[in-house]
Amino acid sequence: MVKYLELDPLNSPGEINALIWRYMDFTKFISLLECEALFFSCIACLNDPFEGTMSARAFDELKHISDDQELEIPTRVNILDGRLQLQKFVRNNVYVNSWSVSEYESAALWNLYLSSTNGIVIQSRTERLMSCWKEEEAKSEANDILEYIAINIVKMEYSDYRKEFVGWKSALDPIKTKRISFAHENELRAVIIDYEGVDNEKQSSENLREIGIEKMEVPGYYIPVNLEKLIDNIYVAPTSDNWFYQLVCSVVKRYGLDVIPKYSDLSNDPIT
């Protein structure tokens, strides 16, 4: 069972009543309904290799900081090595569930997240996401269980990794920062950090090596949610066939959700 559940933002989650969207294909929609859980992916598994990493400028600054402070060479190596070890820990032990903040649907995100013409977007609000969590077991696909969960709601920031100091102050900064090329996502993410196996009093680079941070052990966790609290609306993709809309309506009814699916506003016909 979950021992502790909290909302402890790494930074402000933004407007509490903001509309948020999660685009998905039909299989992920069924998984959401069947498991009554949101899937949190390890950031090392995401399609951006810069997830969880410091920028080049931050790396250079850390590399030279001991010279500026007139420290000995071994100390400088330990400072940089420790930060790199923490970065590996972050990449392999941080899990996220991502949403897009917007007042409207995004044609670009429909195209980005759908593998076919048929798809679904869940519309919710920040306050719904913050209040939907259940105090039940959180499991991986292999039934590994997280005993402790702290859920952070984070409004992402976007930076030029060539010019800015991302990850300079804290190894956790890259959790809430992405390259500026991803700014179109306008992402809000729910974040959990798997600290199991790490002694809170010994979170040194040596201890992190001992627990095996060189590889990602669990690709993701299912975190239980109350679907009625989470879901505001359900829309089918503007390219979806009518039979698919009817199927979604049937599935939603079968799972007992008090929501009537809608066609995407992007499917409306223009005035001619």
How confident is the chain (272 residues) per 10-residue block, as mean pLDDT? 48 77 96 96 92 84 63 58 81 94 94 88 95 83 75 89 78 84 94 68 46 62 95 96 97 97 89 78
41, β-bridge pairs: 96, 220
CB atoms closer than 10 angstroms to residue 119: 25
CB atoms closer than 10 angstroms to residue 186: 19
Distance of CA 260 to the CA centre of its chain: 27
Report how far residue 116's alpha carbon sits from residue 78's, in angstroms, rounded to the nearest whole number.
49
Please give the angle made by the CA atoms of 110, 30 and 108, to the nearest 5 degrees.
5
CA distances from 259 to 34, 107, 232, 240, 243 (A): 16, 23, 8, 19, 18
| pLDDT at residue 61, rounded to an integer | 75
178, β-bridge pairs: 158
| pLDDT at residue 127, rounded to an integer | 92
CA distances from 33 to 27, 148, 172 (A): 10, 24, 32
CA distances from 160 to 17, 55, 129, 166, 180 (A): 29, 8, 29, 9, 6
| pLDDT at residue 139, rounded to an integer | 78
Contact 154, 189 (CB under 8 A): yes
Report how far residue 238's alpha carbon sits from residue 244's, in angstroms, rounded to the nearest whole number.
11
Contact 168, 64 (CB under 8 A): no
Tokens of 113: 């997240």
